[in-house]
Structure 1
């Protein structure tokens, strides 16, 4: 796994994908979630473009702590459908550049 490639994927994710908190959009780069997510998605690309179901499953098993750790939700619970579409588009754009 090339760290430069992961960083490129992370940059695309960080710029295009956000979590929604009370109608406030917090982009994954600002929440420091873009790199860990890219590190999980990048190996999936060796088998081609991951399906929406595979990405959804990954988001469901990615915990995000809120309120100083008082509450933990999955990333899937925090990313609205529109932003999940943006995630798929960012991954597809990155896949095309390989």
Structure 2
């Protein structure tokens, strides 16, 4: 039986969401769309919070796969990981390190 998932306290979750909104972006054809502007910071913060007990690297990778982004008016969905450059994954891992206890 898996261990119960830990999640961040509300204040930490809000702080994480704010950090993700301002520092992470998706990249499409050279354009950077920050997660706060794309309304993706909250779902990513919630996913990361649920997985934080697995460590920053695992939480980052699994969360980016779990959060899907509707494209083409919702006709299709892509995992967030497919829209972020590799440097943004490393940035997310660094951000999550401070929440791993």
Give TM-score scaled by structure 1 length.
0.82
Q: Distance in 2 between matches of 1:71 and 1:40?
A: 21
77, 97, 100: which is aligned to 1:92?
97
Residue 27 (structure 2) pairs with residue 12 (structure 1): no
Whether the 8 Å CA contact 2:69–2:79 is kept in 1: the answer is yes
Report deviation, 1:71: 2.3
Unaligned runs of 5+ in 2: 1-7
RMSD after superposition: 1.9
1:60-79 alignment to 2 at 5 Å?
60-79=65-84
Q: Distance in 2 between matches of 1:44 and 1:59?
A: 11
Aligned residues: 94
Q: Deviation at 1:56?
A: 1.6
| Residue 29 of structure 1: aligned partner | 36
1:83 Cα deviation from its structure 2 partner = 1.1
The unaligned stretches of length 5 or more in structure 1 are none
> How far has the Cα of 1:54 moved from its partner?
4.0
More helix by share: 1
TM-score by length of 2: 0.79
SS in 2 for 1:32: coil
Q: Larger relative CO (CA 8 A, sep 6+): 1 or 2?
A: 1
Once the two structures are TM-superposed, the CA of residue 87 in structure 1 deviates from its matched residue by 1.0
